[in-house]
Amino acid sequence: MEGFDLIQIEKMENNSKLPRQEIPPGCKIQNSKLDQLGEALRSDPKSWLVTGNAGFIGSNLTEFLLKHNQKVVGVDNFSTGYRHNIEDVLAQVGDEGAKNFTFIEGDIADFETCEKACEGVDIVLHQAALGSVPRSIADPITSNRSNVTGFLNMLTAAKEAGVKRFVYASSSSVYGDSKELPKVEERTGNLLSPYAAMKMTNELYGGVFKRTYDMETIGLRYFNVFGRRQDPNGAYAAVIPKWVGSLLSDEAVYINGDGETSRDFTYIDNVIQMNILSGLTDNPEAFGEAFNVAVGGRNTLNELYALIKDQLNKQFKIAPSENTPGVQNSPIRITKEPIYRDFRPGDIRHSNADISKAQRIVGYAPTHDIYQGMEEAIGWYVKNISDAADN
* Residues annotated as catalytic (active site), given as ranges: 195
Q: What is the DSSP code (8-state) at residue 175?
A: G
The number of CA neighbours under 13 Å toward the Cβ of 227 is 25
DSSP characters over 249-290: TT---EEESSS--EE--EEHHHHHHHHHHHHH---GGGTTEE
Q: Rounded distance, CA 271 to CA 308, Å? A: 21
Q: In whole angstroms, how close is the CB of 148 to ligand NAD at the nearest point?
A: 11
Label residue 358 exposed, middle or buried (CB < 10 Å: 0-12, 13-18, 19+): buried
Length of the chain: 391
- Of 78 and 343, which CB lies nearer to ligand NAD in the complex structure? 78
194 CB contacts (<8 Å, ≥6 apart)?
Answer: 136, 137, 140, 143, 144
Q: Rounded distance, CA 60 to CA 6, Å? A: 26
Q: In whole angstroms, how close is the CB of 89 to ligand NAD at the nearest point?
A: 12
Label residue 19 exposed, middle or buried (CB < 10 Å: 0-12, 13-18, 19+): exposed
In Å, how far are 149, 159, 281 from 218, measured between CA atoms?
Answer: 18, 14, 10
Q: How far is CA 135 from the centre of its chain?
A: 17
Q: In whole angstroms, how close is the CB of 10 to ligand NAD at the nearest point?
A: 30
Specify whether the CB–CB gap between 104 and 113 falls below 8 A.
Answer: yes
- Of 80 and 299, which CB lies nearer to ligand NAD in the complex structure? 80
| Site residues for ligand NAD per CB under 6 A | 52, 54-58, 75-81, 107-109, 127-131, 146, 150, 169, 171, 222, 224-225, 231
Q: Rounded distance, CA 171 to CA 198, Å? A: 10
CA angle in degrees (0–180, nearest 5) for 362-363-366: 120
- Of 149 and 313, which CB lies nearer to ligand NAD in the complex structure? 149
348 CB contacts (<8 Å, ≥6 apart)?
Answer: 172, 173, 175, 176, 177, 192
